[in-house]
Amino acid sequence: MKICLSWYNTVQNKKRTFAAIGGISFSLILIFMQLGFLATARMTASLYYDFFDYDLIITSAKYESMGSPGDFDKTRLYQAKAVPGIGETAVLNFDKSRWRDKEDDEFGPSVMLLGFDPNPAFIRDEATKANLHYVTLKDNIILDEWSVPDYGSKQIGKHATINHRDVTIAALFQLGVSFLAEGSAIVSLDTFQGMVRSDPSRVNLGLIKVTASNNIEEVKQQLKSALPMDVLIFNRQDFLRAEQDYFIKVKPVGIMFQAGAFIAFAVGAVILFQVMSTEISNRLREYATLKAMGFSKYYIYRVGAEQSLLFAMMSYIPALPMGHLITFLVKKSSRLPMHLTWELALFVFLLALLMCLISGVLAMGKVRKA
């Protein structure tokens, strides 16, 4: 009886119901998009760092993010080797450069240039490990085959230009684009210096492997004591988490997506409030009749709450497949690693329930006043 009353109230005026479902579904689709981009931004913020395999990482004391890394003296890595428990070390430099296909007269998309000691121990991907020896030859690069289509054909042996320097694609690897660059390439430190022309005694990051018999946190503390204050030391997980948090909480991109999700939530709540407010205004006599017949005010409130929840579930049903479709189209067109996970789908469903519950409670204030 109670559920039927809520259902009949919802579907009696079909035009109003479809209009409400359309408006709320649109706001849920916007929430899917904004939260999807937010999750993608968090993942791509540490995309390059997560590609490498290390236990500890050394950064400049002025390090903020990959966009503003600072640098430190390369001798800090030699000093680190003297600390007990330190195994292998490697240098990782990076620079945002410009790519130009030989078939194109103008410089094209951006490329994240990763200057790296060709040490397979610091690479997680087995295929890239096997091809890492190619970059020991000058001006050879390993190109990300998941870079944007503006790179042209990604074929081994093809010639291109990075920062006015001719390079040869010696091998391919798979990483993906990010909000920092539209593609990436691995080069040796010598090739990197020739392209960027930076001071070879200064490095952006130092990657460290701890020997198997030692505790990473203990070695980290010993390393902090041994090295000067011009560098910072992080373990792998802390560094990745800090990089993601900085990109989401400090950089404008993360703040923009969070604000967009909040605005979409507010828009959906306002739409439903207007619908429920109109619905209740038109049915005040019916609610008064129920009250006169002996139904409690809590029952009447419950009818309104159930009607709001029905709107939430009916709006979520079309919004979910549309969210999947938009995610697929964005991933295909932009090459961003965007996914609509079940955790995100569940979170948006809970937001839909919260949105409709808040709007329903506020709208039922008219019944309380009556």
* Crossing angle of the two packed helices 14-45 and 252-282, in degrees rounded to 10: 160
In whole angstroms, give the CA distance from residue 91 to residue 205. 6
DSSP 93-119: EEEEEEEEETT-SS--SEEEEEEE---
The answer on pLDDT for 103 being more than 50 is yes
Q: How much is the pTM?
A: 0.78
Q: How far is Cα 281 from Cα 370, in angstroms, rounded to an integer? A: 10
Instruction: Reply yes or no on whether the pLDDT at 1 is more than 50.
Output: no
What's the pLDDT tens digit per position in 17-55? 888 888 888 989 999 999 988 888 888 888 889 999 999
* Alpha helices by DSSP H, the chain: 2-11, 14-45, 47-51, 75-80, 126-131, 189-196, 216-226, 236-249, 252-282, 284-292, 297-334, 342-363, 365-369
DSSP 184-208: EEEE-HHHHHHHH---TTEESEEEE
Predicted confidence band of residue 3 (pLDDT cuts 50, 70, 90):
very low
- Give pLDDT, residue 70: 85
* Residue 6 reports pLDDT greater than 70: no
Is residue 355 a contact partner of residue 64, using CB atoms and an 8 Å limit?
no
Instruction: Look at the block and give the residue holding tokens 């009749």.
Output: 289
Highest mean pLDDT among 91-100, 196-205, 296-305: 91-100
For 213-235, the pLDDT digits (tens) are: 788 899 999 999 888 888 999 99
pLDDT, greater one: 206 or 103: 206
Q: What tokens appear for 306 in the block?
A: 């159930």
> Looking at 61-65, 103-107, 140-144, 282-286, which range is the least confident one?
103-107
Task: Return the pLDDT at 370.
Answer: 54
As a whole number, mean pLDDT of residues 128-140 equals 89
185-202: pLDDT as tens digits: 999 998 898 888 777 888
What are the C-alpha distances in Å from 266 to residues 76, 273, 286, 354? 51, 10, 30, 11
Q: What was the pLDDT predicted at 114? A: 92
pLDDT of residue 53: 92
Q: How confident is the model at residue 90 (pLDDT cuts 50, 70, 90)?
A: very high
pLDDT at 142 over 90: yes
- Please provide the average confidence, as pLDDT, over all residues in the chain: 84
- The half-sphere exposure of 279 on its side-chain side, counting CA atoms within 13 A, is 31
Contact (Cβ atoms closer than 8 angstroms) between residue 364 and residue 282: no
- Cβ-count burial 332-343 (b if 16+ within 10 Å, e if not): eeebbbbebeee
| pLDDT at 108 exceeding the cut of 90 | no
Distance CA 346, CA 262 (A): 17
